[in-house]
């Protein structure tokens, strides 16, 4: 085998290696995009589930409010519960306001998520997922440091005022603990999927810069 044959063989080998590297990189990019798309689908599913629940909860609130304004029904309930009806009515009105605001807020988040497309320029996806992460951060801050303390304070003041029995205090405590644990669990799911998308986008950016 002469020198020219060796050069040709070496060049062909280099071409094959380069093609294999390009193919591996392309497959890895596709895998990262698939993982990101899966996490994005989960986030969208969480938001849609929350939206559906909020919309379906509105007629329930209307029904409960009308029921508590029914004198015939009020006369049938135990005295211990009848003493809570005024407070429950106020709570239902507050819940209705929160649900309406939640529907608007979820709509804004879904609109932002709908703009994320892994075919689009990477810079846009970074911007949209970063904005969504900020939205979730605001939700945490408002929920943990404003809504939960406010609800606890209102309940404590009301129950102290009416000298509520131990049963109502235990019921309130268990309900609030269950809600807090549920919210913490879901926020962790949000954080996990957001982090997955951000990490995959970082890796894709590094691959493109090489």
Q: Give the pLDDT confidence of 9-45 residue by residue, as tens digits.
A: 656 566 666 666 666 667 767 777 788 888 999 999 9
The pTM is what? 0.80
Contact 46, 190 (CB under 8 A): yes
Q: Which residue has the higher pLDDT, 191 or 203?
A: 191
Two tokens at 55? Answer: 């919309």
How far from chain centre, in Å, is Cα 23? 36
Taking every pair of Cα atoms in the chain, the longest distance, rounded to a whole number of angstroms, is 107
Two tokens at 104? Answer: 């608007």
CA 194 – CA 187 distance, rounded (Å): 10
- Low-confidence winner among 52-56, 66-70, 101-105, 189-193 (lowest mean pLDDT): 66-70
Indicate the domain borders of the chain. Answer: 3-209
Contact 95, 147 (CB under 8 A): no
Give the three-class secondary structure for 70.
coil
Give residue 167's pLDDT band: very low, low, confident or very high (50, 70, 90).
confident
CA 141 – CA 109 distance, rounded (Å): 16
Residue where the block lists tokens 């939205």? 135
């Amino acid at each position: 085998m002469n020198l020219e044959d060796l050069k040709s063989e070496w060049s062909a080998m280099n071409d094959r290696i380069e093609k294999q590297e390009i193919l591996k990189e392309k497959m890895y990019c596709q895998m990262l995009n698939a993982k990101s798309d899966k996490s994005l689908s989960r986030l969208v599913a969480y938001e849609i589930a929350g939206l559906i629940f909020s919309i379906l909860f509105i007629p329930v609130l209307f029904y409960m409010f009308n029921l508590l304004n029914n004198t015939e029904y009020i006369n049938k309930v135990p005295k211990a519960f009848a003493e809570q009806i005024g407070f429950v009515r106020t709570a239902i009105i507050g819940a209705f306001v929160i649900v309406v605001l939640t529907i608007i807020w979820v709509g804004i988040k879904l609109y932002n998520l709908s703009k994320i497309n892994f075919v689009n320029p990477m810079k846009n996806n970074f911007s949209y997922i970063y904005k969504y992460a900020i939205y979730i951060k605001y939700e945490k801050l408002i929920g943990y440091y404003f809504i939960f303390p406010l609800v606890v304070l209102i309940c404590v003041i009301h129950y102290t005022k009416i000298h509520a029995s131990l049963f109502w205090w235990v019921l309130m405590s268990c309900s609030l603990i269950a809600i807090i644990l549920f919210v913490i669990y879901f926020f962790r799911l949000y954080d996990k999927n957001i982090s997955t998308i951000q990490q995959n986008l970082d890796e894709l950016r590094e691959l493109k810069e090489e």
